[in-house]
Amino acid sequence: MTTLLRRPLVVLLLALALVAAGCAEAEDGGDAAAGGGGGETASDAASAPAGDTVSEAPATEEGPIRIGAVLDITGPGANLGGPERDTLELLVEQLNAEGGIDGREVELDIRDNQSREDEAATQLTSLLQEDVDIILGASRTGPSLAMRPIAEQAEIPMISLSANLSIIEGSEWVFKTAQNDSVVVQRLLEWMEAQGHETLGLARDASAFGEGVADIFREVSGNPDIVLVEERFATDATDFTAQMINLRDAGADVNVIWGIPPAAATATQAYRQLGIETPLLHSHGIGNPAFLEVAGDAAEGIVFPIGRLLVADELDPADPQTEVIQEFVTAYEERYGARPSTFAGHAWDGFTLAVQAIDEVGTDPAAIRDYLETAELVGMSGVFRMTPEDHSGLGPDALVFATVRDGQFALADEQPGS
């Protein structure tokens, strides 16, 4: 870690400032002049080792490979970023135990963006000062969108772990591993069609994750009137009475809550408490045990499209993903004593894509980018087939329908469209 190198510089910074203060406030001019002299000396002394650290720039094709990650480890996105961090740490450990990439050790620098867009940008800018070879993150759409222009300007490949299509749309340098929300919407519409539902009420996350979802429903369904009501809730909201009442009053055939836990879970509770009988659909944002913990009984019977990782135990052995998924689930459970969430899966996909690319083409950013644009991977979130036009690489087949049964995620009985 470079923190060891950083320490003396922080100290230098403080020392200089304090010397400046001492001078400014010393008793008289004579003392101040002496203090000033001292200040110069101090800076000279401290700058010598500091100078050494600067010259120590890593050469391109030797030394450790550096992967930077900016994740939503705390704040409203903590349920996503936490498992993602755990996954990355697990994977890098495994990788280095096996000798790294071409014998080069892989260093992982994980930063917490505190679920904040500005912090994500700050952390990314700061990471770029550390000569990382590729960027992973962020966990959610908003912070990912904040990072996108910075990665593009720095011309460094970035693999986001979040969902919204706008993160990769038209981007040369940004890829992502979570299923596109348009694909999720498409699957939800397939479900509605199979059940004979025509209208929906939408309560969505007010953050970038939920932004534009209503439009996607209208576009994909070709029905501009399909969304009867659109309610918003803050990512950290705690009371959903108002939104759920408005859903109830709209009287749509189904209702969709589009968010991430804990808000999506609390909203589900409020939905049940108001005694709304209409079927409840969710997005792929809830594939996390944290959702079950908070929502409790209220979650029973909901339906949502999700990657196969969440229902690993019920997979068809013939499914191409089954083997890698079960291998990962075993390793993760062994290490952390819990099942990996779908977000852990997104991190697995991102990390594996990055490692695969560097393994093939080295650390030249443009080469990595070019490789990723044609990469294929049997991953956690689906079977990726990237193209220069599609930096997501996942189709509707990446998603199955899941439900909650007896307090556990389970494969839904009906799987329309597949």
Partner 1 sequence: MSAEPAVAERADAAAMAVEGPGAGRRRARRDLVGLAVLIAAVVVFPLVAEGQVVFVGVFAGMFALAALGLSLLMGLAGQISLGQAGFLAIGAYTSAVLTTRYEVNSLLAAVVAVAVAVAAAFAVGIPILRLRGHYLALATLGFGIIVAVVANQWEFLGGQSGIFGIGDVAFNGRTYDEPGEQFYLLWATVIVALVLARNLARGRVGRALGAVHDSEVAAETLGIDTFRLRLQVFVLSAALAGIAGTGYAHVVGVVNAQSASFQLSVELLLMAVVGGLGSVWGAILGAVFVEGLGEALTTFIPRVIPGASGEYQLIGFGLLLTLSVIFLPGGFVQAGRRLSGLGGRRSAGATVPGPGPASSGGAVAVREQGAAVEPLLPREGRPPPGTVVLRVTGLERHFGGVRAVDGVDLEVRTGEIVALIGPNGAGKTTLFNVVSGVLPPTAGTVEVGGRPVSSAARPPRPHTVAAAGAARTFQNLQIFTSMTVAGNVAVGRHLRSRGGIVAGALAFPARREERAIDAEARRLAGLLGLDDVVDTRAADLPFGRQRLVEVARALAAEPDRLLLDEPMAGLAAAERADLAHLLRRRRAGGMAILRGEHDMEAGMARADRGGVLDDGHRIALGPPSAIADDPAVIAAYLGTDDDTALPPPRTASGTTADGTTAGGATAAGATAAGPAPGGAPAGGTTAGGATAAGEADRRGDGGGRA
Partner 2 sequence: MIDLLQLVVAGLSTGAAYGLVGVGFVAIHSVTGIINLAQGEFAMVAGFVAIALLGAGFPLAAAAVAAVVTVAVLAGVIERVAVAPAAGSSAVVYIMLTLGVSTTLKATALLVAGPQPRALPAFTPGVLDLGGVQVRPQDLWILVATVIAAAALYVFLERTTTGRAFRACAEQPVAARLVGISPSRMSTLSWVLAGIVGAVAGVVSSPVFQTDWNIGLFLGLKGFVAASMGGLASIPAAILGGLLLGVVERLVAGYISSGLQDAVAFFLLIILLVARPSGVFGRTGAVARV
Question: Are the beta carbons of 377 and 353 closer than 8 angstroms?
Answer: yes
Least Å distance between CB 89 and partner 2? 16
Distances (CA, A) of 178 to 32, 230, 269, 271, 356: 60, 24, 26, 27, 18
Cα atoms in the 13 Å half-sphere on the side-chain side of 385: 5
Q: What angle do CA 288, 291, 292 make, to 5 degrees?
A: 100
d(CA 59, CA 54): 13
Strand ranges of the sheet holding 227-233, from the earlier edge strand across to the other edge: 227-233, 200-205, 254-258, 280-282, 303-306, 400-405, 408-411
Interface residue list for partner 2 (CB under 8 A): 73-75, 78-79, 82, 206, 231-234, 237-239, 241-243, 245-246, 249, 262, 266, 272-275, 290, 294
> What residues numbered 141-160 form the site for partner 1, per CB under 8 A?
141-142, 145-146, 148-150, 153
Query: Tokens 């998603």 — which residue?
Result: 399
Site string for partner 1, 273-302 (x = CB under 8 A): ------------------------------
Task: Indicate whether 242 belongs to the interface with partner 1 (CB under 8 A).
Answer: no
Question: Are the beta carbons of 166 and 145 closer than 8 angstroms?
Answer: yes
Among 119, 133, 181, 230, binds partner 1 (CB under 8 A): 119
Least Å distance between CB 1 and partner 2? 21
Least Å distance between CB 193 and partner 1? 31
Stretch that binds partner 1, among 26-34, 96-104, 216-224, 325-333 (CB under 8 A): 26-34
Q: 139: Cβ–Cβ under 8 A, 6 or more apart, which residues?
A: 71, 72, 77, 80, 81, 84, 115, 161, 162, 343, 346
Task: Indicate whether 120 belongs to the interface with partner 1 (CB under 8 A).
Answer: yes
Least Å distance between CB 235 and partner 1? 7
Bridge partner residues of 132 (DSSP): none
Q: Which does 274 bind (CB under 5 to 8 A by kind): partner 1, partner 2, none?
A: partner 2
Task: Indicate whether 84 belongs to the interface with partner 1 (CB under 8 A).
Answer: no
Q: Which does 266 bind (CB under 5 to 8 A by kind): partner 2, partner 1, none?
A: partner 2
Which is closer to partner 1, CB of 190 or CB of 231?
231
